[in-house]
Amino acid sequence: MKRAAAVLFVGLVSLLWLALPRPARAFGDVGAFDPRALRVGGVNGPARPSAPARWARELVQRTSAPARVKPTEVRADDPSVVDSPFLWLSGESALTPFSPQEIAGLRKFFSLGGLLLVDDAGVGDDGTPSAFGRTAREQIARVLPDTSPIALGADHVVFKSFYLVRRPEGRVRGPQTLDAIVRGGKPQVLFSSHDIGGALARGATGAWENPVVPGGDAQRERAIRLAVNISMYVLCSNYKDDQVHAPFLMRRRALPVVP
């Protein structure tokens, strides 16, 4: 009788334990694309505040890739700057000089294979860089003094990682290429004089926040496709060897998986 009672007691405890609520684990908490806004050089958030969430939603809706629907922000001097492989720096005004701590944080991020998109939100309609675009290049040169930007043409994988994109475009058409700092054969910094975030920004009512010139809706669609391509490029690249979704995405693209 005692043995039967003990078994019954253990069974009841087990049932109660199974019935207890557990913390939810949302799919994509690990390895999901996070269009993180970088705070550095006096920039306190993205120039187009609604753009990161829109970017994440477009990626989820158009592909099988996971993304954070509530993107995060991070300071360059915060240790968590290395917790995800992508950073997005956008602005309209001149940057202040990066501090030694900010430079150290970004160097560690790049040493692990991270990718930074520098998106000039103040670029003129004719593609003329703003004070932000000019000073961003100067400050990034302090972080990575051993390399200089080169032009990425339409044959680069960034332009065909998901969609076939012929050239970069954003709120403005801008230059025909993205400039990039390439290290170890891979772009680590992309410089956009197109205001990609301006094309993505969408308000709470669902209306687009900025007119796209000169190509209107068709150009906006191409800008969104470029953003999706950048996301897929990030997700399919190795970063600290823990991008858990990379093998799945590589199989979809029929590309070899790097061990």
- Can you give the residue range of the structural domain that contains 43? 29-253
**How much is the average pLDDT of 172-188?**
96
Identify the pLDDT of residue 247: 44
Residue 164 lies in a domain: yes
Q: How confident is the model over 84-101, as pLDDT tens digits?
A: 999 999 999 999 999 999
Task: Give the other-Cβ count within 10 Å of 246's Cβ.
Answer: 20
C-alpha dist (Å) from residue 207 to 119, 178, 180, 204 = 22, 28, 32, 7
Identify the pLDDT of residue 251: 42
What amino acid occupies position 104?
A
The pTM assigned to this predicted structure is 0.82
Residue 124 lies in a domain: yes
Please indicate whether residue 160 or residue 14 has the higher confidence score (pLDDT). 160
Q: How confident is the model over 29-76, as pLDDT tens digits?
A: 467 999 999 999 999 999 999 999 999 999 999 998 999 989 999 999
Residue 46 lies in a domain: yes
Identify the pLDDT of residue 214: 98
The enclosing domain of 110 has a CATH number of 3.40.50.12140
Confidence of residue 237 (pLDDT cuts 50, 70, 90): confident
Measured CA to CA, the distance from residue 137 to residue 143 in angstroms comes to 10
Residue 117 lies in a domain: yes
Q: What is the DSSP letter of 69?
A: S
**How much is the average pLDDT of 204-221?**
97
- The pLDDT > 90 percentage for the chain reads 77
Is the pLDDT reported for residue 213 higher than 80? yes
Residue 97 lies in a domain: yes
Strand partners, 86: 115
Domain count, the chain: 1
Q: For every residue of 134-201, which 3-state class applies, written as one string?
A: HHHHHHHHHHCCCCCCEEECCCCHHHCCCCCCCCCCCCECCCCCEEEEEECCEEEEEEECCCHHHHHC
Q: How confident is the model over 56-65, as pLDDT tens digits?
A: 999 999 998 9
Identify the pLDDT of residue 188: 97
Q: How confident is the model over 121-152, as pLDDT tens digits?
A: 999 999 999 999 999 999 999 999 999 999 99
**How much is the average pLDDT of 188-217?**
97
The number of residues making up the chain comes to: 259
**How much is the average pLDDT of 184-196?**
96
Residue 6 lies in a domain: no
Residues 213, 153 contacting (CB under 8 angstroms): no
Residue 9 lies in a domain: no
Is the pLDDT reported for residue 256 higher than 80? no
Residue 16 lies in a domain: no
